[in-house]
Structure 1
Amino acid sequence: MVDFELSEEYQELRKTVADFADEVVAPVSSKHDEEHSFPYDVVSQMADMGLFGLPFPEEYGGMGGDYFALALSLEELARVDQSVAITLEAGVSLGAMPIFRFGTEDQKNEWLPKLTSGRALAGFGLTEPEAGSDAGGTRTHAHRDGGQWVINGNKEFITNSGTDITRLVTVTAVTGQREREDGTTKKEISTILVPSNTAGFTAEKAYNKVGWNASDTHPLTLKDVRVPESNLLGEEGRGYANFLAILDEGRIAIAALATGAAQGCVDLSVKYAKERSAFGQNIGKYQAIQFKIARMQARAHTARLAYYDAAARMLAGKPFKTEAAIAKLVAGEAAMDNARDATQVFGGYGFINEFAVARHYRDSKILEVGEGTTEVQLMLIARELGL
């Protein structure tokens, strides 16, 4: 028997986070969005709830849960505020998870209790001015010198990299060259842990973004940054390959976040359609509005099923790379499409930033770009089909 019902434990978690989102996050979302300010108080309360430790074992300060628990929490947070949701997603998936998956015991014991507690944040420095989806363009490089790595380079669009509680950024860097069978060479990319207080590490001025304004995002400069050789994360030369595995998991989390955004647009539109009157009756009585919102709900439901399926495969130890790509593709497009339609339902009010649908409209576009563009997801799906 196929059963898509959540267990009682998952249902309780979902309700707890949903209540927190409605009662704590939503009331201050507009303020932080307008001010482009990081919601430290909200993040602190999320830390108290154990959200940053959800998918990690208790021995490292975690809650002993799983990745699906994280996904459910992200969906509920993103329903009201994508900036808060991406702060959690990046803190767990990009900040702590690489250390948990590939770190030594010493690295795990040093960093995971801080990160799983939510009292410290970490970022992952992959993207560069000329290297996003194309890792071959990576120019940041590192070499050994006297028992240390010396790192030079620049990173772009790095989440959680410049807050007052940021303590670490894991960076990708070229650490050598490998000769291929055809005689050409390929860059060997490794990942290295860089504490944020390291000399030469600078989080430059935060970006002035279209959306996710309460999320912390900076370009980074690394100039003769020196860290111990023991800060190598995982096997030398396997950094990018390892990060691709992290991205597969992360796509499930981003799909959950996007599903929450899509559902948030539905909820706002239903409420508005019942309250707003035109030509003598609520606009929700008109079939044009009904059909628009019905399509929005269908998108959110489909996105949810997609990420549930990918998460179930992951937790069962089955291949899930393609399903994660499908979930990210479907959910990202659902969020953007629903944001556009919700803005139409709200009419002129949908174009006013104090209304949450306007924030969703600005926020949702990045869901078709970040952590693997729509085109990358299509490429992965097509590749699985043998094309």
Structure 2
Amino acid sequence: MPDRAPQPVDRQLPTEEARDLVSLVRDIAQREIAPHAAAEEEAGRFPREVFALLSRAGLLGLPYAAEHGGGDQPYEVYLQVLEELAAVRLTVGLGVSVHTLACYALAAHGTKEQRVEHLPAMLGGGLLGAYCLSEPSSGSDAASLRTRAVRDGDDWVINGTKAWITHGGVADFLTVMARTGEEGPRGITAFLVPGDAGGLSAAVPERKMGLKGSPTAQLHFDGVRVPDSRRLGEPGQGFAIALSSLDSGRLGIAACAVGVAQAALDEAVAYARERRQFGRAIADFQGLRFMLADMATQIEAGRALYLSAAKLRDAGRPFARQAAMAKLHCTDTAMRVTTDAVQILGGYGYTADFPAERYMREAKVLQIVEGTNQIQRMVIARHLAGPEAR
């Protein structure tokens, strides 16, 4: 059964331009993405042509400066675009979020010359990025990464393995964190690595319970040579760059989670109106109506939370705590709402004939990526009570 068209959300967008933008995205999503989403996810097919279309439409660089090919849109608008895309296919919404994350280090910490040389192609030239921080032995403890870059004349030579890389094997460029100095966070540096660099190879993609259309793979760096002109920021600044990148990236995950949850709610409401038992629609039974009410309330609260954090970011104010809260709340909400949607559909919810089970499988990964929700609680507590006593 094809996915139902998501119900339009009553969005509070700041300008007429923003309203037109979101309307365009919704139209693209319904015409180009939704009709094929279920079948392509089941087949594990990566929709590269969709990302090419989004690039041509100017949708892969929305929160970045127009002078470099970006859309000059505030995060408040960009995140609502992500929600629209994730509601029809999380592989696409999450892919745009990861691409935006991969562009951040260059846009925020690159030199003027680096931005002029690389950003236009990254933001509007059909390229797709990946963000390389995690490793097989360092996930939540990212500062313990072991991939190493050694200076050799005007180049750096990178050796090591990155793990759990979205777009691994298909990305055109990579933002890579590698150790260039002492152990710990102060010895890490960021690099912009071409996707076709010599010595770079991708493992067979992971077999995942959801997001089957989005390739997740280990990347092996075997003597990958990168000129110093592709170093982003100063040596030793990479971990700080990585953390600031993730603050913004977590808002992207929160928006994607709300999109998945909204799609699941729409499916549950439509089914409850159509399904009849004991002579009436099951939407007439109070127990089920209360479930739908709780689902809708949690989604609205999540949307308000991520937009509140985005407005802080747009105003240039600190937002790391609110970003962690948004990622925590929105992804936990997506898990609860998609689980309840499966329950409302009953046996049909457990079959692949309806999209509820796919939403449920996809929601789970959002509680893990870009900092598990346990890490988000640590971040929030650190802002409230200070660093833990050692």
TM-score category, normalised to shorter length: over 0.9
- Is 1:125 equivalent to 2:118 in the alignment? no
Q: Residue deviations 1:64-87, cap 9 Å, x none?
A: 222222201111111121111011
1:137 to 144, 156, 169: 144
Matches within 5 A, 1:359-378: 359-378=358-377
Instruction: Give the structure 1 partner of residue 24 of structure 2.
Output: 16
Cα distance per residue 1:137-174 (max 9 Å; x no partner): 211111111221011100001112322xx221121111
Between 1:253-262 and 1:41-50, the stretch displaced more is 41-50
What does 1:268-279 correspond to in 2, within 5 Å? Answer: 268-279=267-278
Query: Match for residue 290 of structure 2?
Result: 291
Alignment partner of 1:173 out of 169, 178, 186: 178
TM-score scaled by length of structure 1: 0.93
Unaligned runs of 5+ in 1: 179-184
Deviations for 1:222-254, whole angstroms, at most 9, x for unmatched residues?
011111122211111010111101111111111
CA distance in 1, matches of 2:50, 2:275: 32
Cα deviation digits, residues 194-240 of structure 1 (max 9, x gap):
11111111111111111111112211000111111222111110101
Instruction: Decide whether the 8 Å contact of 1:189 with 1:238 is kept in 2.
Output: yes
3-state DSSP class of the match of 2:385? coil
Q: Does residue 112 of structure 1 match 2:119?
A: yes
Runs of 4 or more consecutive aligned structure 1 residues displaced over 6 Å after TM superposition: none
- Alpha-carbon contact 2:143-2:239 (below 8 Å) kept: no
Distance in 1 (alpha carbons) for counterparts of 2:16 and 2:46: 33
Q: Write the mapping of 1:38-77 to structure 2, written as runs, cut at 5 A.
A: 38-77=46-85
Query: Does the residue aligned with 2:269 lie in a helix, a strand or coil?
Result: helix
Helix, strand or coil at the partner of 1:235: coil
8 Å CA contact 2:249–2:370 kept in 1: the answer is yes
Match of 2:264? 265
Q: Does 1:31 align with 2:36?
A: no
Return the alpha-carbon distance in structure 1 between the equivalents of residues 330 and 49 of structure 2: 29
User: TM (normalized to structure 2)?
Assistant: 0.93
Q: Which whole-Å CA distance do the structure 2 matches of 1:5 and 1:47 have between them?
A: 22
5 Å-filtered alignment, 1:1-387, equals: 6-93=14-101, 95-117=102-124, 119-163=126-170, 166-177=171-182, 188-386=187-385
User: SS of the counterpart of 2:126?
Assistant: coil
1:110-144 Cα distance to aligned partner (Å, 9 max, x none):
22111111511111110001111212321111111
Amino acid at match of 1:267: D
**SS class of match (1:79):** helix
Question: Where does structure 2 lack aligned partners over 5 or more consecutive residues?
Answer: 1-10
Change (3 A) 1:202 1:345: same
Task: Report if the CA contact (8 A) 2:199-2:221 is conserved.
Answer: yes
RMSD: 1.7
1:130 match: secondary structure = coil
Which amino acid is 2:372 matched to? T
- Partners of 1:14 and 1:156 in 2: CA distance: 34
Alpha-carbon distance between aligned partners in 1 of 2:230 and 2:122, rounded to the nearest angstrom:
17
Distance in 2, matches of 1:118 and 1:22, equals 24
**How far 1:61 sits from its partner (Å)?**
1.2
| Deviation readout 1:321-370 (Å, 9 max, x if unpaired) | 11111111110101111110000011111111232111111101011110
